[in-house]
Chain A
Amino acid sequence: MGKSIVITSGKGGVGKTTTTANLGMALAQRGARVALVDADIGLRNLDVLLGLENRIVYDLVDVVEGFCRLRQALIRDKRCENLFLLPAAQTRDKTAVSPDQMRALVAELKESFDVVLIDSPAGIEQGFQNAVAGADEAVVVTTPEVSAVRDADRIIGLLEAQEFHAPRLVINRIRPAMVSRGDMMDINDILEILAIDLVGVVPEDEHIVVSTNRGEPAVLQNSSLAGRAYRNIAARLMGEDVPFLDLQSANGGLLGRLRRIFGG
């Protein structure tokens, strides 16, 4: 019996789907049997980030409506055969599925997978309600911006109201150089405000753009710092105690290094 984790954020564009794709790949590379569920019905994208868009035959709504069996709709990743995707329907909308149906679907997936990651749509309406329905745990993704943190706060409130007692936070797209010069909120600023546990910090990384272009999650590249951050998050999700990357020294630039040398 596996566990299910919803990846959510409230605000769109903070990297939920990128996070889902990378964590899924990283967990599968660690040997876990992983199912990724794209719960963003009508605006599916997880297939594209994984490079699986050409292999979709059936989707989540087909399963729920009984047009196919769950096994038929699952797409196996060729790079990592422990990884499977249940794509969202593109031509339907959120009302095509109910929270009860999602609960049943995720329960069925948990019977044959170690981890089920559910990619939530943006917003707090039915799509979100569907995405969280079958989840045991929640990961909230934010970026170091006022609007994203505000929405994360709202989502955390909603998750807590739905009995998710310990949602965990991923801070995405942090720019160490901007943090160093005081032009971007740092990890402590955000944690102080949101008051939840941190599960990972992912730096802004050009590799993400390239990997999205190619449909190959950044965790597949050893040179990607974001990929490394995602591998660490995957380890933490499996209960390992992994130290956080020192982004200020890894990527702080010349100025940051000089400042450290001079004690600034």
Chain B
Amino acid sequence: MFSLLGGLRRRQAGSKDVARERLRVVLMHDRAGANPELLEQVRDALVQSLSPLVDMDRRGIQVDLRRQGQSLALVASIPVRGFKRGAGGRG
């Protein structure tokens, strides 16, 4: 009896956890007030500030909000072709 109940519970567990996790992520976006246009502006600002230093593939840039533990992280993935000549600290 014991194991039967345990088995039932194991098999069916999870959908509540899925709901809770999805909700957490959705609310982080909602609460941060993030919207696609805003992320687009963040992307443009990154391009502008990094372009004197980095030669990057602008079409491949991805900017998104992700959950990291209890907080929200702004994650940018920027494909780099190389660093610009004279941009280093020794230049």
Q: Which residues of A contact B (CB under 8 A)?
A: 145-146, 149-150, 153-154, 157, 179, 181-186, 189, 193, 255, 258-259, 262, 264
Residue numbers of B with Cβ under 8 A of A are 1-2, 5-6, 8-9, 12-17, 19-20, 22-24, 26-27, 30-31
Contacts of A189 in B (CB 8 A): 16, 20
Q: A259-B5, A264-B5 are in contact. Are A183 and B12 (CB under 8 A)?
A: yes
Say yes or no: A146-B31 contact (C-beta < 8 A), given A181-B9, A189-B16, A258-B1. Answer: no
Closest 7 CB pairs of A and B: A182-B13, A183-B15, A181-B12, A146-B23, A182-B16, A146-B19, A189-B20
Taking CB atoms, residues of chain A closer than 8 Å to B17 are 182
Question: How many residue pairs at the A-B interface have CB separations less than 8 Å?
Answer: 57
Query: For residue B26, which residue of chain A has the nearest CB?
Result: A150
Bound-state Cα–Cα, A159 to B8, Å: 42
List 18 A-B residue pairs with CB atoms under 8 Å apart, sorted by A's residue number: A146-B23, A153-B27, A179-B16, A182-B13, A182-B16, A183-B13, A183-B15, A183-B16, A185-B16, A185-B23, A189-B16, A193-B20, A193-B24, A193-B27, A255-B5, A258-B1, A262-B1, A264-B2
Residue of A nearest to B11 (CB): A181
- A104 vs B27: C-alpha distance when bound (angstroms): 35
Contacts of B16 in A (CB 8 A): 179, 182-186, 189
B20 near A185 with CB under 8 A, answer yes
Once the chains bind, are A146 and B12 in contact (CB under 8 Å)? no
**Interface SS of chain A:** helix
Q: CB distance A181 to B30 under 8 Å?
A: no
Chain A residue at minimum C-beta to C-beta distance from B27: A153
Note all chain A residues with C-beta closer than 8 A to B9.
181-182, 259, 264
| Cα–Cα distance between A186 and B16 once the two chains are bound (Å) | 8
- Knowing A185-B19, A193-B23 are in contact, say whether A153-B8 is a contact too (CB < 8 A): no
Closest to B29 in A: A150
Measured between beta carbons, the chain B residues less than 8 angstroms from A255 are: 5, 8
A182 touches B12 (CB 8 A): yes
**Cβ–Cβ contact A146 & B26, under 8 A:** yes
Contact B5 A258 (CB under 8 A): yes
CB neighbours of A186 from chain B (8 A)? 16
Residue of B nearest to A151 (CB): B30
The verdict on A153 contacting B5 (CB below 8 Å), with A146-B22, A182-B14, A185-B19 known, is: no
Q: Shortest distance in angstroms between B1's beta carbon and chain A's nearest beta carbon?
A: 7
Question: How many angstroms between the C-alpha atoms of A153 and B33 in the bound complex?
Answer: 13
Closest to A154 in B: B30
Q: Which residues of the other chain, B, contact A193 by a CB distance below 8 angstroms?
A: 20, 23-24, 27
Closest to A186 in B: B16
